[in-house]
Amino acid sequence: MAKLAAADLLREIGSERPPQCCFLCGEDTFAVSQLEGRILKKLTDGDQMSCTVFDGQAPDLDRLADACSFCSMFQPYNVIVIRDLNPDTVPAADIEAMLGIWKELPDRVIVLVVMRTLPAYEIRRGEPSFLPKFKKIASFFEKQGVLCICEKKNAVMLGKQIMERVKRHGCEISRQNAELLANRCLCDSTLIHTETDKLMACADGGEITSEMLDALTAALPDADAFRLARAVTGGNGGAALRLLRDLTAKSADTGTILGLLSVLSSTFTDLYRAKLGQGAARQTETVAADFSYPKNREFAVRNAMRDCREMSLPQLRTCVRILRETDKSCKSSRTPPRLLVEQAIVRMLHVRRDGTEVLQ
């Protein structure tokens, strides 16, 4: 079938012959989880006997092969879910065996590979580009089934979703305030969901006002994120930790921390791209165009070009890697996210200009 948007995939899932192999991934991990839930509801209607879940970090290949080999006469479908299939921990031979199994599935057996926390691709020139370790897997699903990417939505799209959700819960919010909330959360769906819950509880069936937004939502301005990045790469630990405290002063819940981590990752990515642009003697407008920044995000390139002069490419590259590892840990471990972010900042403070980490 090839690539499908989430809405189109749901439509296909509801057809008489739904696709048997689906790969779900995306920057919007909250949307990926929601899509998985809606697919399972359509296919199993909540019947747990119709669904078998495997941990993609270390799936039992024999058990997986058995699960994929039949469909019970008492359930409409036998749904196999593999969450966060990780080529770094699963041997290449096992990946190859899985793809062989999924190529010859019996009727009414459906396989969903759902990337809830692990990134499967990166954005290059405004388009998703699968990481080398996922290219073979993605290619298989694009040819043999469905590849569905939940890309990050903009404030206008998220504002509409916020308004619809708030209305379903008996509250109201204006389009302007809904988009303001999306922008304050930097279009991070997980953080938006958490902040909207707080606002609806406060509104108690009434209107969510701008005053409520000011009082309750955790704004994560890009300017403060750049200041934090400068403090980290400049070795100013005291300033970095003070900024972290200020950014989480209103709320230190998981959604806020993940939102801050997303901002920091984007900020260091902006700095890295700006440094590449400086090395190639590019102007701000050219760098923005090269990396497909929208007009309303060109300010991020200008800030990055201004602030990256004293940073090195290896240093920035290592910081981006540390933030990616921290994001994965926040979503997969029981350690408090605030502590993990603090640890990441301390690690980044000890990255040398040649990109090596100084072990403590």
Please give the Cα distance from 69 to 109 (Å, whole number): 8
pLDDT at 25: 93
pLDDT at 292: 80
Query: Residue 197 forms beta bridges with which residues?
Result: none
The tens place of each residue's pLDDT in the chain, 360 residues long, gives 588 988 899 999 988 899 999 999 988 888 898 899 999 999 988 777 788 999 998 899 999 999 999 887 778 899 999 999 999 889 999 999 999 999 989 999 999 999 987 888 877 766 788 989 999 999 999 999 999 999 878 888 899 999 999 999 999 999 999 988 887 776 778 778 888 998 999 999 999 998 888 788 765 555 666 677 778 877 788 888 888 887 776 566 677 777 778 878 888 898 889 888 887 777 777 888 888 877 656 767 877 887 777 788 999 999 999 999 998 888 888 888 888 989 999 999 888 888 898 765
Query: Which of 47, 80, 46 is CA-nearest to residue 66?
Result: 80
Residue 130, both tokens: 């699968």
pLDDT at 3: 87
pLDDT at 293: 78
Please give the Cα distance from 78 to 213 (Å, whole number): 45
Residue type, 77: Y
Alpha-helical (H) ranges within 76-147 are 92-103, 132-144
User: Between the CA of residue 8 and those of 19, 39, 44, 147, what are the distances in Å?
Assistant: 12, 12, 19, 11
pLDDT at 98: 95
Residue 264, both tokens: 């920091």
Could you tell me the strand order of the sheet in which 51-55 lies? 2-3, 146-149, 21-25, 109-114, 78-83, 51-55
Residue found under tokens 């930097």: 186
pLDDT at 165: 94
- Count CB-CB contacts under 10 A for residue 265: 18
Query: Residue 82 forms beta bridges with which residues?
Result: 54, 113
pLDDT at 250: 59
pLDDT at 220: 56
Exposed e or buried b per residue across 42-67, where buried means at least 16 C-beta atoms within 10 angstroms of its C-beta: ebbeeeeebbbebebeebebeebeeb
CB 237 within 8 A of CB 224: no
Please give the Cα distance from 40 to 50 (Å, whole number): 9
N residues, the chain: 360
Q: Fill in the DSSP letter of residue 110.
A: E
Task: Write 284-287 long-range contacts (CB < 8 A, 24+).
Answer: none
pLDDT at 161: 92
Please give the Cα distance from 117 to 70 (Å, whole number): 29
pLDDT at 156: 87
